[in-house]
Structure formats: C-alpha cells, structure tokens
C-alpha cells in the first residue's frame, strides 16, 4: 500500500505542480476566495479530519478485539466520506451556476482557473469515492466476523489509503482555496 | 503494522487490551485537536489580508499545512512505528515533487519565461543573415569561407561549422528580422 500511495502521491504532485505553474505565470489569475467558498470547504476539511480520527479509533477497537465497535466506527468513517462527496457535488453545482465555472471555461477570468480546480478536486473526489467503497467492503468483512481475533492488518491498510486521501485534501485545500 | 503484534500472538487479557486501546484513543484525540486548531488558524489568518502581507500569510498557511500533513502521516498512518524504508517511501514523493518544483522555477518567472531554449538559436541569427544573401547562389568554397568568418564571432568549434551552415540555412530564411533576441522569444510564445 505504501508503494501505491507513493505513486499516487506523485500523480497528485504532478497535477499540483501543473496548477502552480499555470497560476504563477498567469497575471490575471483571480483570488480563489473571491469565487470558491472557503467556509464550505473548511467544513469539508474538518469532516475529513474527523473521519480520519474515527478510522484510527476503529482500528484501535479492532486491535482490542471489539469488532462491533470497529464496525460502527468504520461505518461512521464511510459516512464522513459520503457527506464530503455530497458537499463536493453541491459545491460543483453552485460553481457551475453562480460563478460561471465549467470544466473547461471560466466566465470571469482565465479558463485554467476552472479546469485546474476541477481536475485536482475531481481527482481527489474520485479517491474519496473509492475510499468509501473500500471502507464499506471492510465494514462488510467486519460484520462477517473476519476480524474477531484482533488481527486487523488489512483494516489498517484500508486506513492508510483513507488517511492518504485526508492528507492530500489538507494540501489541496491550502493550495487551491487558501493561497 | 508492527505494533499490531500486541493484539494477537501473545496471550493478553481483555483488561490489558482495553488499556492499550484507551491510551491510543486519547493520543488520537489530542492529534485531532491539534489538526482542528491548525485548520481554524489557517482559515482565520487568510482574513487578515488587510493587515498582514501576502508573503507572511502564505508562509504561515504553508507551514501549518505541512505540520498537519505531518501529523496525519506520522500518527494516523502509524509512520512512528514503521521501519526506516517505509518512512523513506513515504517522503519520497515529497522530495521528488520538491526537486521538480525547483527545476521548474525558471518557468514560473513571468518576465523571462524561457531563456535557455530560445536564446541559443537567436544568438547565431546574424551569422546566417549574412550567409543567406551571399551563399544562396555562391559555390561551396564561398559558403565554407563565410561560415568560418562568422565562427570567430560566435566562438563555435571548427568541426561543427560546416555541419551547422546547411542545417540552419532554412531556419535563417524564416528568422525574425529584428536583431533583438527577446523579440524572437515573444514570437515563439
């Protein structure tokens, strides 16, 4: 999983570098907070941090041979990811209609502002989606009694992916929304 | 995954397991508060753009972000218990992307976007501007002489001169009329 995360991190790194160069070289780049909602995405950030915490609590419960508690916290984690996706869908629709942003064009500035935003957050959203599916599969396996003996290594591997998604969002939130 | 060995393998009673879980969870809650505080501080400082300079705000925000990413990686992803090679694999993308960013720095300078790549042909244009007018109908010896004469000013090695002349002759025809190399940079963009 670590090796996969390394390659995935490089992919995100490439996308963010492309974003950075397009932005720095474009004098007309708008101030992100004028068009992107910081409050909503800060809430989404908080949500992902919470879901990361519930993930580690789930793993600690599994190690203490409490599969029932681990199942609950896994479902809570997946719920956090699902709400994050819901917020993102709402945000996209809002940006389409209220701010004139489409995948390839932007009404009030350079089109790269729009396309880099959507490709970076969209690629991350795809990770959140696959993470939620991954967590639900782990929850099903927990419910089936596969981790009753306290050996939760595969849950930890799922957790690694989930924390990575959280970590990337921490970076994306700063680079895309705050700077 | 090394720390998971406490929960299986050795015979442990439930009380000890509960104790270990409690200790972990209390640590995780501490990290959670740290992450929350840094997030609030990050978002809060952005609204002080009237008071603080953009450089200060951005530096603080990036510092806090790196700390948060470090917390998630070190404690939540259990890098603190991992072997050295796993730590190396974890920081490798950061290093690679960091080096890549440094190498791309010249491209991010708006005033002088591309220097090395375009300046090179721009420097040899004057030689071939001369060559074009005379060597178009001139015999081989004349062309050879012409290039050797230009070589003194451009400082090119003697062996490269006969090769360079025919190859870049078509380029000379489409070269910008101005002597200023920066004009050709603008045309290229």
For residue A92, pLDDT over 70 is answered with yes
Question: What is the band of B123 on the pLDDT scale with cuts at 50, 70, 90?
Answer: very low
* Calpha distance B26→B35 (Å, rounded): 14
From chain A residues 69-128, the ones with a CB under 8 A of any chain B CB are none
> B151: Cβ–Cβ under 8 A, 6 or more apart, which residues?
B158, B161
Residue A100's CB: how many other CB atoms inside 10 A? 14
Chain A contact for B31 (CB, 8 A cutoff):
yes
Asked if A100 contacts A107 with a C-beta cutoff of 8 angstroms, the reply is: yes
For residue A122, pLDDT over 70 is answered with yes
The candidate with the shortest Cα–Cα distance to B65, out of B94, B38, B98, is: B38
- For residue A147, give the 3-state DSSP assignment: coil
Instruction: State the smallest CA–CA distance between residue A24 and chain B in angstroms.
Output: 6
Question: What is the band of B167 on the pLDDT scale with cuts at 50, 70, 90?
Answer: very low
Contact A151 B29 (CB under 8 A): no
Q: Which of A44-58, B51-65, B91-105, B121-135 has the lowest mean pLDDT?
A: B121-135
Q: Interface pTM (ipTM) of the complex?
A: 0.85
Residues of A in contact with B42 (CB under 8 A): 174, 178
Question: What is the band of B161 on the pLDDT scale with cuts at 50, 70, 90?
Answer: very low
Average pLDDT estimate for B130-153: 48
> Which one of A57, A156, A167 has the shortest CB-CB distance to B73?
A167
The pLDDT of residue A161 is 94
DSSP A48-88: HHHHHHHHHHHHHHHHTT-HHHHHHHHHHHHHHHHHHHHHH
For residue B162, pLDDT over 70 is answered with no
Contact B93 A13 (CB under 8 A): yes
Q: Which of A26-30, A37-41, A85-89, A134-138 has the lowest mean pLDDT?
A: A26-30
The candidate with the shortest Cα–Cα distance to B143, out of B125, B119, B169, B123, is: B169
- For residue B137, give the 3-state DSSP assignment: coil
Asked if B54 contacts B83 with a C-beta cutoff of 8 angstroms, the reply is: no
The candidate with the shortest Cα–Cα distance to A153, out of A73, A63, A78, A83, is: A63
Tokens 């397991």 sit on residue: B17
For residue A114, pLDDT over 80 is answered with yes
Using CA coordinates, name the residue in chain B closest to A70.
B21
Q: Say what percent of chain A tops pLDDT 90.
A: 59
Instruction: State the smallest CA–CA distance between residue B89 and chain A in angstroms.
Output: 7
> A103: Cβ–Cβ under 8 A, 6 or more apart, which residues?
A114, A115, A118
Percent of chain B that is helix, strand, coil (3-state, to 5) = 80, 0, 20
Contact A63 B21 (CB under 8 A): yes
Average pLDDT estimate for A23-31: 84
Instruction: State the smallest CA–CA distance between residue B184 and chain A in angstroms.
Output: 19
C-alpha distances in angstroms, B154 versus B142, B150, B160? 19, 6, 12
* pLDDT greater at residue B91 or residue B183: B91
* Calpha distance B179→B95 (Å, rounded): 42
The pLDDT of residue A109 is 81
Question: What is the band of B58 on the pLDDT scale with cuts at 50, 70, 90?
Answer: confident
Tokens 């935003």 sit on residue: A117
Question: What is the band of B180 on the pLDDT scale with cuts at 50, 70, 90?
Answer: low
* Calpha distance A57→B115 (Å, rounded): 54
Using CA coordinates, name the residue in chain A closest to B109.
A25
The candidate with the shortest Cα–Cα distance to A17, out of B104, B62, B93, B89, is: B104
Asked if A33 contacts A143 with a C-beta cutoff of 8 angstroms, the reply is: no
Contact B110 A24 (CB under 8 A): yes
> B119: Cβ–Cβ under 8 A, 6 or more apart, which residues?
B181, B185
The pLDDT of residue B183 is 54
Asked if A123 contacts A12 with a C-beta cutoff of 8 angstroms, the reply is: yes
The pLDDT of residue B56 is 87
Contact A170 B65 (CB under 8 A): yes
Q: Say what percent of chain A tops pLDDT 70.
A: 100
Strand partners, A106: A101
From chain B residues 86-145, the ones with a CB under 8 A of any chain A CB are 86, 89-90, 92-94, 96-97, 100-101, 104, 107-108, 110, 113
> Which one of A24, A149, A163 has the shortest CB-CB distance to B8?
A149
Question: What is the band of B163 on the pLDDT scale with cuts at 50, 70, 90?
Answer: very low
From chain B residues 50-69, the ones with a CB under 8 A of any chain A CB are 58, 61-62, 65, 68-69
Contact B78 A156 (CB under 8 A): yes
The candidate with the shortest Cα–Cα distance to A17, out of A170, A171, A156, is: A171
């Amino acid at each position: 999983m670590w090796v996969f995360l390394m390659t995935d991190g490089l992919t995100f790194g490439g996308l963010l570098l492309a974003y950075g160069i397009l932005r720095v070289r474009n004098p007309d780049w708008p101030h992100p907070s004028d068009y992107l909602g910081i409050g909503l995405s800060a809430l989404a950030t908080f949500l992902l941090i919470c879901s990361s915490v519930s993930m580690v609590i789930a793993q600690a419960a599994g190690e203490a041979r409490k599969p029932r508690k681990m199942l609950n916290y896994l479902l809570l984690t997946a719920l956090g990811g699902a709400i994050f996706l819901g917020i993102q869908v709402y945000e996209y629709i809002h940006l389409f209609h209220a701010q004139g942003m489409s995948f390839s064009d932007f009404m009030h500035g350079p089109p790269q502002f729009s396309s880099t935003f959507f490709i970076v957050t969209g690629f991350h959203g795809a990770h959140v989606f696959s993470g939620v599916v991954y967590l639900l599969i782990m929850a099903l396996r927990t419910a089936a009694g596969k981790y009753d003996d306290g050996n939760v290594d595969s849950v930890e591997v799922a957790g690694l992916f989930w924390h990575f998604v959280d970590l990337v969002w921490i970076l994306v939130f700063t680079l895309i929304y705050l700077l | 995954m090394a720390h998971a060995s406490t929960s299986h393998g050795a015979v442990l009673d439930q009380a000890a397991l509960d104790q270990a879980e409690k200790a972990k969870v209390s640590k995780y809650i501490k990290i959670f508060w740290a992450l929350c505080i840094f997030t609030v501080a990050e978002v809060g400082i952005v609204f002080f753009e009237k008071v603080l300079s953009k450089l200060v705000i951005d530096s603080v925000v990036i510092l806090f972000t790196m700390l948060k990413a470090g917390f998630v990686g070190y404690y939540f992803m259990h890098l603190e218990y991992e072997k050295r090679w796993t730590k190396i694999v974890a920081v490798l993308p950061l290093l690679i992307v960091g080096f890549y960013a440094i190498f791309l720095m010249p491209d991010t300078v708006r005033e002088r976007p591309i220097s090395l790549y375009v300046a090179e042909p721009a420097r040899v244009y004057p030689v071939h501007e001369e060559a074009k007018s005379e060597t178009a109908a001139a015999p081989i010896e004349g062309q050879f002489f012409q290039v050797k004469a230009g070589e003194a000013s451009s400082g090119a090695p003697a062996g490269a001169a006969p090769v360079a002349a025919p190859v870049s002759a078509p380029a000379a025809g489409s070269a910008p009329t101005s002597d200023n190399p920066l004009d050709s940079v603008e045309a290229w963009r």
